[in-house]
Amino acid sequence: MSFLAPTVLLLFLVLPPLLVWLHSRYARRRVVRVGSLVLWRRLSEERAARSTKRNRSIPISWELLVALLTTSFLILALSRPQVHLSRREGRGAVVVLDGSASTRGKPFELLRAETRALLGKFEEDDEIALIQAPDGRVVFSGTVGLLPELSTGLEALVPVDRGDRWDPILAQALVQRSELIRRLRAKLGPDDPDPPVAMIVLAHSFPPALASALQESDEVSWTILGGFSSGNGSNVGIVRFGESLDDAAGNLQLLVEVAGTSFPDGARLVIAEEPGGKVRLERGLPPGAERMRLLETLPSWDSRLGVRASLELPGSFGDGFGADDEVLSVRPQREVFRVTMQTPSPRLRRAFRAFGPGVEVRDRLSREESLDSSSGSRRLADLTVKRPLESEEVLLGDPQILVAPRGDVVLVEPIPSGGGVRPRARVRVGERYRPRNSALGRDAAPLQFGAESFAIEIPTAFELKLEPEEEFSVLAVAEFERGRTPLIVRMGEVLVLGFDPEQGSWPETPSFPIFWTQELARFGAVPESGLQRVSRVEESLRIPVESDGVWRLVGPDVEKKLEPIGGWLSVRVDRVGTYRLRDSTGEGERQVRFDLLSEGETLQAAGIGQGQETAEIGEWPGFGEEDVRSRTGARDLTGWLIGGSLGGILLLLLRPHRWRGRRENRSYRSASGMPMPDRSG
Amino acid sequence: MRRPSDQPLFETEFLSRLARLGRLVSRVRASGSSGTAARRGRGGLVEIAGHRRYVPGDDLRSIDWSAYARLEKLFVKEFDKQEHVPVVLLLDTSASMSLGDPTKRDFALRLAAALTFLALAGENPTRVAAVGESGWRPIRELHRLPEFPGILGDFKKLEFSGRADLPSAVQSLVESRIPRSLVILITDFLGEEEVQREVAEGLIGARARGHDVALLQVLSRQEIDPGAELDPGDRLTVFDVETAGSLGIPPGSDWSARYRVHLEEFLSNWRKVAARHGMRYLLATSDSGLEDTVLDFLRAGGFLR
């Protein structure tokens, strides 16, 4: 169980004692008419005598208990508790990897990387079968816990030229599926007759043979990931899109790059708002062209809607494929951000207030709080958004960019002299803007929408202190155009490090891509936006060691000696995997794990526009995201707790006990005809 | 259970219940008399109803000397006299009787009416008096059953307020020239300890004057267990409706149990006084059934077996 806002829990130190004090101080007074005080006087004397012997006891009543319970629920609800669901036992997947001759070269590397990323989403007890097409060889079959073996098998794969027959491959996949189900049933027991086994095809292209083979096995649901193919076998895919906005008219500029070995005749690119948007653009693709870059403008784009770009290709590949396949989509981003602003200027505060409830501004920060360890600068206020943002009020990822409701964007720019910020511009808002300017370093470039410039300088080596026997993983390296930053997971806890060139060190606290942290924490994986910019690990680690002797680094394909310099080992690897560091005495041993979720390189790295292999795997449709969410994601208990709080409040308001007391008093009054005594008695 | 203010105290249904009660008492009495020892005494047939410990004031002629020879303790024989015994019914009209749900006042009035009816039905001359702030206040003296409706009108007019001067009322009874009678006192006995002591002494004196004394203590359910309707977390202020005094009770979880201990002690004292001095005693709550209470009272008083 974790909390999204753990500081709220500090209220437990304040509110319950306050409630008890208030209750004991202002306990409800009840006047009871009696025939004689003789019995009560003894009671009062007894209690008075006892209260002098010991401290005043806390009067326990059901109202106090309900109030305490309600308060606890409220505090817990405000702290946003997340229960991490226990992993579902025994999930399985049959993965068919297209290793045909057409994938030779870069596409196969991409497919392999994607396969690795896919397998990384499974857990150790899950059962996996990996089949290579087109020869139908079972590369691996077993639990994911045997990851080294699986990785070895995956790394050893090379494309083969064995024709284009998919039927026997899918038949093999079905056989493996049966085998996986058998093994899962053995694990789960007979009570679970239907263990989930996903059938996944990772294909570079989508040839008709695969389409027809899939149609034959329609009793099994398949997931197809990969590029798309036209009827005549040419590979076509949308490889990239970018978005920009026209700040004058509120239009969305969409940059779409389409690549293929040869566009078929009649191929069209369709860009449309969805769902139910009015804007729809169609652009024909020149036949035979290998790539095309389109900068389209969607006029008066409704930012609440997503954008879908798809290829309409002539011909059909069977049900579910062909025309109108979704290739990419833009979805409104609904996340919770924390934004730091440099000064609480009245103008900004007005903008903040426009967000309405759920946005808090703290402008009285202590000296310690105000010091930003990542940049060394001081900030004067914090803005915290504690609710999902609507698409109209998307908060830009950069901490210094804020988008107010109704499409007004407030940009703030730090004044170099430290005198605060000043509003820079007001523009209409698009959505889903990733950080383009972290403003972390001295070289921070001026903010420019649509500009392809980034200002993050990332060093090639960094220091990370390791405890003995501590295992950590470099999950991925986020690469920007001018730099990259590693995403590091330590002991299952996501820790995103951002380098501060001014400080020359890696801060312990997350810095600029803080929303990535949340994504990672939630899904246990780098989100799509991160995957797009992930590159191969080529990092050096400097590891402090006690022994000055020779250390040996043992990994999947490497075994080399290392000598510490000044108590530090400099380790550099170029491959994912788990490495072990052993000193010469054999007494000290550390495990270092380099692991990538994906090697999907950026467009630029893939060489689009440089005359290289053009077919490119774009964004995967996000296989398993929901599955991963359901397995390892967190269930938000806030709703339940708020419900419990409301129930408690209702109970306190109804006060059935007080009803009884009133009825009693009424009866005395009506029967005796006497006025009630003064409550002060 | 609660009587609405516009509902008559002695409705037709109540009167028919009294008639039923009369018949029931006659029937029980008739069935209980078979096979018991009986002797002809002055004034009518006298049946031996049982024995009890001797207390000063008892008729020496009723001492069972054979029992003394066996047990070396004095017992007196109790006779179920089928004669016309005068009845004096004293009704506490203090403000405290207005409490309860249903009120003790309503219950006490119905009880008094029922006992008056039964006494008249047995041709016993009945003297009804209210005990209020000025002590003894005769209401009506009845000799025959047809006079019974009159007392109902008097009951309706009774006002329950202030403190009842029970000690002076009992003292008046002792000092009066009223012949030996069955004295029935309907009250809640709630009062200061000193007052309770004076009342007890007065009642003992009445016993010494040869009166047969029956105590009918009426309490409300709220007085028996106030914790049932109050929250232990409440800060209580108890208000004495007779003296207008008040007392604060600090909140706590155990006051209800302690109250019951004191209540039990209070009730036990009256039970002991009654037992020690040969008085009949019955505790009834204001939500009890009238018939059951009357029958219990008659049995406790030895009027029925």
Task: Sort out which chain B residues have CB atoms less than 8 A from A667's CB and list them.
Answer: 2, 101
- Find tokens 């059953």 and name the residue: B145
Q: Is the CB of residue A49 less than 8 Å away from at least one CB of chain B?
A: no
Task: Locate A418 and state its tokens.
Answer: 């430290």
Q: What is the pLDDT of residue A121?
A: 72
Instruction: Say yes or no: A45 contacts chain B, CB-CB below 8 A.
Output: no
Interface mutation vs chain B, best among A25, A28, A32, A53, most B CBs within 10 Å: A32
The residues that bridge with B76 in the sheet, in sequence order, are: B52, B63
Q: Give pLDDT, residue A296.
A: 64
pLDDT digits (tens, 9 = 90+) for B179-233: 888 899 999 998 888 899 999 999 999 988 888 899 999 999 888 888 777 776 6
Closest CA–CA distance from residue B261 to any residue of chain A (Å): 10
Residues A292 and A260 sit within 8 Å (Cβ to Cβ)? no
Cβ of A508 under 8 Å from any chain B Cβ?
no
CA B245 to chain centre: 27
On whether any CB of chain B is under 8 Å from the CB of A656, the answer is no
Q: Which residue of A has its CA nearest to B252?
A: A59
Q: In this complex, is the C-beta atom of A40 within 8 Å of any C-beta atom belonging to chain B?
A: yes
- The model's pLDDT over A441-493, given as tens digits with 9 standing for 90+, comes to 222 222 222 222 222 222 222 333 333 343 443 433 333 333 334 433 332 33
Closest by CA to A143, choosing from A131, A128, A163, is A128
Estimate to the nearest angstrom the gap between the alpha carbon of B171 and the chain centroid: 17
Of the partner residues A23, A31, A671, the one whose CB lies closest to the CB of residue B98: A671
A57/B231 Cβ within 8 A? no
Using alpha carbons only, what angle is made at residue A363 by residues A359 and A369, rounded to the nearest 5 degrees?
A: 105
Specify whether the CB–CB gap between A517 and A535 falls below 8 A: no
Strand duo A381-385 + A338-341: pairing:
antiparallel
Mean pLDDT across the stretch A504-519? Answer: 35
State both tokens at B59: 């008729």
Return d(Cα A316, Cα A230) in angstroms, integer: 8
Of the candidates B191, B222, B235, the beta carbon closest to that of A28 is on B235
Res B300 pLDDT > 60: yes
Q: How far apart are alpha carbons B222 and B229 in whole angstroms?
A: 8
* Chain-chain contact of A60 with B253 (C-beta, under 8 angstroms): yes
- How do A92-98 and A197-203 pair as beta strands? parallel
Q: List the one residue out of A565, A581, A564, A584 whose CA is nearest residue A573.
A: A581
SS3 label, residue A582: strand
- The DSSP code for A311 is E
Task: Pick from A368-382, A592-606, B290-304 the range whose average pLDDT is largest.
Answer: B290-304
Does A62 contact chain B (CB < 8 Å)?
yes
Q: Check CB contact under 8 Å for A670 and B5.
A: yes
Q: What is the pLDDT of residues A254-302, one digit of tens each?
A: 555 565 445 566 767 777 665 566 777 777 777 666 556 666 666 665 5
Within 13 Å of residue B75, how many CA atoms lie on the same side as its CB?
A: 18
Distance CA A435, CA A339 (A): 13
Q: Measuring CA to CA, which residue among A494, A382, A507, A391 is closest to residue A440? A: A507
Q: Are B114 and B294 in contact, with CB atoms under 8 Å apart? A: yes
Give the Å distances, CA to CA, from A521 to A464, A493, A494, A517.
Answer: 21, 8, 6, 6
Residues of chain A neighbouring B95 (CB-CB closer than 8 A)? 35, 672, 674
Window A:218-237, CB contacts with B under 8 Å: none
**Angle B63-B67-B73 from CA coordinates, rounded to 5°:** 80
Residue B278, phi then psi, degrees to nearest 5: 70, 30
Tokens of B57: 């004031």
Cβ contact (<8 Å) for B259 and A39? yes
The residue type found at A588 is G
Q: What is each CA distance from B285 to A226, A499, A588, B188, B221, in whole angstroms?
A: 86, 83, 85, 10, 6
Query: Which residue in chain B has the smallest CA separation from A47?
Result: B250
Residue A673 has pLDDT above 50, yes or no: no
pLDDT for B202: 92
Q: Do B99 and A677 touch (CB under 8 A)?
A: no
Average the pLDDT over each of A177-191, A278-292, A529-543, B217-231 and give the range with the smallest value: A529-543
Q: What is the spatial distance between Cα A420 and Cα A215, in angstroms, rounded to a whole number?
A: 63
Under an 8 A CB cutoff, do B234 and A27 touch? Answer: yes
A662 in contact with B at a CB cutoff of 8 Å? no
- Measure CB to CB from residue A677 to each of B192, B230, B239 and give the nearest one: B239
* Chain B residue whose CA is closest to A672: B98
The whole-number pLDDT of residue A498 equals 40
Inspect the interface and report whether the beta carbons of A44 and B193 lie closer than 8 Å: no
| B253 Cβ under 8 Å from any chain A Cβ | yes
Nearest to B285 by CA among B223, B230, B214, B192: B223
Q: How far apart are CA A257 and CA A399, in angstroms?
A: 29
**Residue A574 pLDDT:** 54
ipTM of the complex: 0.77
Range 175-214 of B in CB contact (< 8 A) with A: 188, 190-193, 196
How large is the average pLDDT for residues B23-44? 49
Measured between beta carbons, the chain B residues lying within 8 angstroms of A64 are 233
Q: Each residue of B87-135: pLDDT tens digit?
A: 999 999 999 999 988 899 999 998 999 889 888 888 889 999 999 988 8
Chain A CB within 8 Å of residue B146 CB: no
Strand partners, A560: A553
| CA–CA gap between residue B256 and residue B260 (Å, rounded) | 6
A278 touching chain B per CB within 8 A? no
Interior/surface letters A366-398, b for 16+ CB within 10 angstroms, e for the rest: eeeeeebebbeeebbbbbebbeebebbbbbbbb
What is the enclosing helix (H) or strand (E) of A258? strand A251-260
Peptide bond into B102 cis (omega under 30): yes
Q: Looking at residue B28, what is its pLDDT?
A: 62
Residue A355: what pLDDT? 57
CB contact under 8 A, B266 and A37: no
pLDDT greater at residue A641 or residue B34: A641
Q: How far apart are CA A284 and CA A287, in angstroms?
A: 9
Residue that is written with structure tokens 């249904």 in the block: B13
Q: Residue A128 has what pLDDT?
A: 86
Residue written as tokens 């209260």?
A51
DSSP letters along A98-122, please? Answer: E--GGGTTHHHHHHHHHHHHHHHTS
Report the distance separating Cα A168 and Cα A122, nearest Å: 26
Q: Tell whether A23 lies on the interface with B, counting CB pairs under 8 A.
A: yes
For B238, the closest chain A residue by CA position comes to A32
Highest mean pLDDT among A66-75, A428-437, A458-467, A529-538: A66-75
Q: Which of residues 157-176 of B touch A (CB under 8 A)?
A: 160
Q: How far is C-alpha A633 from the geometric centre of its chain's CA atoms?
A: 10
Parallel, antiparallel or unpaired: strands A483-490 and A472-480: antiparallel
> Regarding predicted confidence, which is higher, B37 or A441?
B37
Using the Cβ of A188 and the Cβ atoms of chain B, whether some distance falls under 8 Å is answered with: no
Tell if the CB–CB gap between A37 and B234 is shorter than 8 Å: no
User: No. of H helices and E strands in chain A?
Assistant: 15, 34
Q: Please tell me the predicted confidence (pLDDT) of residue B21.
A: 76
Instruction: Tell me if chain B has a CB within 8 Å of the CB of A106.
Output: no
C-alpha to C-alpha distance for A634 and A81, rounded to whole angstroms: 9
Distance CA A52, CA A497 (A): 60
Amino acid at A343: T
Pick from B300, B229, B66, B96: nearest CA to A30: B229
Taking 80 as the threshold, does the pLDDT of residue A214 lie above it? no
Please report residues of B whose CB lies closer than 8 A to that of A27. 233-235, 251
What pLDDT digit, counting tens, does each position of A107-162 carry? 677 778 778 777 777 777 788 888 888 777 788 888 877 667 777 778 878 777 66
Percent of chain A residues past pLDDT 70, beyond the cut: 29
8-state DSSP, A574? S
A64 close to B (CB below 8 A): yes
Residue/partner pairs of B242-248 with CB below 8 Å, 24 or more apart: B242/A35, B242/A36, B242/B94, B242/B95, B242/B96, B242/B162, B242/B163, B242/B191, B243/A37, B243/B163, B244/A677, B245/A37, B246/A31, B246/A37, B246/A677, B246/A681, B247/A37, B247/A40, B247/A41, B247/A44, B248/A44, B248/A681
d(CA A544, CA A496): 20
The pTM assigned to this predicted structure is: 0.39
* Least CB–CB distance from A681: residue in B5, B196, B237: B237
Q: Which of B97, B247, B250 sits opposite A51 (nearest CB)?
A: B250
> Quick check: B235 and A30 CB within 8 A?
yes
User: Is the CB of B231 less than 8 angstroms away from the CB of A29?
Assistant: no
What mean pLDDT is reported for chain A? 55
Task: Decide if B249 touches A, using CB distance below 8 A.
Answer: yes
Residue A348's pLDDT is 53
Residue B242 CB neighbour total at 10 angstroms: 22
Residue A304's CB is within 10 A of a number of other CB atoms, namely 12
The CA-CA-CA angle for residues B191, B193, B195, to 5°, reads 65
Q: Which residue's entry shows tokens 């830009």?
A: A396
